[in-house]
Chain A
Amino acid sequence: MIHLNGVTKIYKNNESPAVDNLDLHITRGETCILVGPSGCGKTTTMKMINRLVTPTQGTILINGQDNREMNPVEMRQNIGYVIQEIGLFPHMTIADNVATVPREKKWPEKKIQTRVDELLHLVGLDPAEYRNRKPASLSGGQRQRVGVARALAADPDILLMDEPFGAVDPITRTHLQNQFLRLQEELKKTVVFVTHDIDEAIKMGDTIAVMREGHLIQLDSPDQILSEPKDDFVSALIGGNRAIKRLNLVKTREVIDNMPIQTLRTNSPVDTARKLLITSQLPAMPVVDENNRLIGVVQKHILSALKEQAEIADIMEKNGCVVDKGATLGDALSTMLNYGERYVIIVDENYSPCGIISFTYLLELMKNDVA
């Protein structure tokens, strides 16, 4: 899909090249993460793909075609581009921002409006509420989602993302990452993603290209990078706690597959709950409403300590410890630590519980990994 062959970029008034003789091959539908410290040439590499930066030497092929031979304007309209949130046009409404590329492509206005609503839905923003607002009135995370929607507007095959989740707080970042992973599963775009955060790279990438001083140091899958870092630089970049980092390679969905899930209703007898909890050896059980949506959690230790007769509704904790099934085990672990609980409930897109992961389980997993 994207081939970089011997690409070198030397900026004016600079002796050492920003990118030095780089070969990189990105296949269709994969997410390739360019990661490295600032000044390693990752952003320059990305910008050479859509020709915001012209290479000094070497060629870049997109779908087999040299990108110097393409009309840059047309080419860029077919490559989605997300940069840090400053890239939203502050004087335009959210709808107009998202409609930018379709308007450039002269789509009929009606089609554009339908597409805008569709995209806002896709990134989880209610069009009725957000269409006519200006970027300034949105939170950082919401602006970032508009950025993604805008890049997807004309349904490009390729997405270039430059630190797209860089300017938000860690909790929002995790949300945005999970949401993007879910989207990407459906959309299967070819993504080039620049970040300086190795954890983000491990979580988001199919392949990771570790760069330093304009050179490609290692190009591998996240698993390979973690287990076989090529040199000291890559090891240092990964840092310690590799066992914990590897948790980010696994989605919660993958470990709860085929795990039967028992749920309680608010009117379930407490005895049933007790019996179920003891046989399943789980630390907690989800409570659902008539639509099978999660409304709370009953914890084992509370149930065991219970002396008198009580209703499930009385001993249920609302807003338990919950993550999306698209999240990684790493997310599950940090959620548990944040809430100080020994369990986390996994929910699907309808907020129906589809699994439980216990702290003990994660510990076992890490222990095996280290061994």
Chain B
Amino acid sequence: MAARLLSYENIGLLTKQHIIMVLISSIAAILTAVPLGILISRERFARVGAIIENIVNVAQTVPSIAILALFFTILGLGFNTAVFALWLYSLLPILRNTYAGITGVSKGVVEAAQGMGMPPLRILTLIELPLASPVIIAGIRTAVVVNVGTATLATFVGAGGYGDLIVTGIAIQRLPLLLTGCILSALLAIICDHILAVVEKNRVVEYQEVKY
């Protein structure tokens, strides 16, 4: 049984499951959290923004396994349960960083743009988002790395991924299985982290080394 689980075919399948889970949930989280973060950073939502920021800060202390478990109680077993849980959990760092990044843009810069007659939408796309991008990308990086880790737990709700190897390895006490699962998931997390770190650093060099 261990040999069958360790076939290239099976590892390929689990890799695909793992990556797809992370990819779908992360992209969905970016697509929801970034616009939401932009929205609550607008001046007319200033009060809502501060409240949401506090809620997010508390929500972020909730462990990922708890979110996964809660979604299990609603959606039962399956791939969707895992994707929804990952999505919701990775919303938080992206939302928080988008909000922090945009509200952290120097007031003077934004006011200069307003004063020169830039329409609000262009201020957002040309000034605020580029300047906030290192912080936003840092949030995405955190989210993706956490997602790779949480996705190993998806095996408990029957959504596959590298967690299958680890949990089966523990259950039937087969070291090769266990190690393969551990090492592959760790590698995936480290690779994602490094790729996004490079992207983040590029933005920082380009934009943020500005100290007046």
**Is A278 among interface residues, defined by CB-CB distance under 8 A?**
no
State which residues 78-95 of A face B: CB under 8 Å.
78-79, 81, 83-91
Question: What does DSSP make chain B's interface, helix, strand, loop or mixed?
Answer: helix
Chain B residues with CB under 8 Å of A86's CB are: 106, 108-109, 112, 212
Q: Knowing A83-B108, A86-B109, A91-B207 are in contact, say whether A76-B131 is a contact too (CB < 8 A).
A: no
Jot down 17 A-B pairs with beta carbons below 8 A, ordered by A: A47-B115, A52-B114, A73-B117, A73-B119, A78-B117, A81-B112, A81-B115, A83-B112, A87-B108, A89-B109, A90-B210, A91-B130, A101-B116, A101-B117, A104-B119, A134-B210, A160-B115
Complex partner residue of A91 from B108, B118, B206, CB under 8 angstroms: B206
**Seed contacts A76-B117, A83-B112; 11 additional CB < 8 Å A-B pairs:** A73-B117, A73-B119, A74-B117, A81-B115, A83-B111, A89-B112, A90-B207, A91-B130, A91-B210, A100-B118, A136-B210
Residues in A with CB closer than 8 Å to B118 are 73, 100, 104
User: Bound state CA distance, A190 and B43, in angstroms?
Assistant: 32
In the assembled complex, A50 has its CB within 8 A of some CB on chain B:
yes
Q: Which chain B residues (112-134) contact chain A, with CB distance < 8 Å?
A: 112-119, 122, 127, 130-131
How far is it, in angstroms, between the C-alpha of A264 and the C-alpha of B178 when the chains are bound? Answer: 92
Interface size of B in residues (CB-CB distance below 8 Å): 23
The CA of A151 and the CA of B112, in the complex, are separated in Å by 10
Q: Is B9 part of the contact surface with A, judged by Cβ < 8 Å?
A: no
List, in ascending order, chain A residues with CB within 8 A of B113's CB. Answer: 89, 100
A76, A89, A134, A135: the one within 8 Å of B114 (CB):
A76
**A255 is an interface residue with CB less than 8 A from chain B:** no
A261 close to B (CB within 8 Å): no
- The list of the 5 closest CB pairs from A to B, nearest first, reads A76-B117, A87-B112, A77-B117, A86-B108, A81-B115
B93 to A: closest C-beta gap in Å:
23
User: How far apart sit A136 and B109, CA to CA, in the bound complex (Å)?
Assistant: 14
B211 CB within 8 Å of chain A? yes
Q: A52, A135, A151: which contacts B111 (Cβ < 8 A)?
A: A52
What is the interface residue range for chain A against chain B?
20 to 34
Q: Are A89 and B119 in contact (CB-based, < 8 A)?
A: no
Could you tell me if A90 and B115 are in contact, using CB atoms closer than 8 angstroms?
Answer: no
Report the bound CA distance from A47 to B127 in whole Å: 21
Whether A75 sits at the interface, judged by CB under 8 Å, is yes
Q: Say whether A90 contacts B117, CB under 8 Å.
A: no
B 8-26 to A, binary, CB cutoff 8 A, 1 in contact else 0: 0000000000000000000
A87 near B111 with CB under 8 A, answer: yes
Pick the residue among B115, B127, B206, B209 that contacts A52 (CB under 8 A).
Answer: B115
> A142-185 toward B: CB 8 Å interface, digit per residue (1/0)?
01000000110000000010000001000000000000000000
> Contact: B117 with A104, CB < 8 Å?
yes
State how many angstroms separate the Cβ of A327 from the closest Cβ of chain B.
28
Instruction: Give the residues in chain A near B122, CB-CB below 8 Å.
Output: 104
* Residue of B114, B127, B206, B208 most packed against chain A (CB within 10 A): B114
How far apart sit A74 and B130, CA to CA, in the bound complex (Å)?
A: 24
Min CB–CB distance A109 → chain B (angstroms):
16
**Least distance between A174 CB and chain B CB atoms (Å):** 21
Interface readout for B195-212 with A: 1 if CB under 8 Å, 0 if not?
A: 000000000001111111
Chain A residues within 8 Å of B109, by CB: 86-90
Q: How far does the alpha carbon of A91 sit from the alpha carbon of B207 in the complex, in Å?
A: 5
A50 near B212: Cβ-Cβ < 8 Å: no
Q: Shortest beta-carbon distance, A11 to chain B, in Å?
A: 14
A151 to chain B, nearest CB (A): 8
Q: How far is the CA of A93 from the CA of B67 in the complex (A)?
A: 45
Report the nearest A residue to B106, measured CB to CB: A86
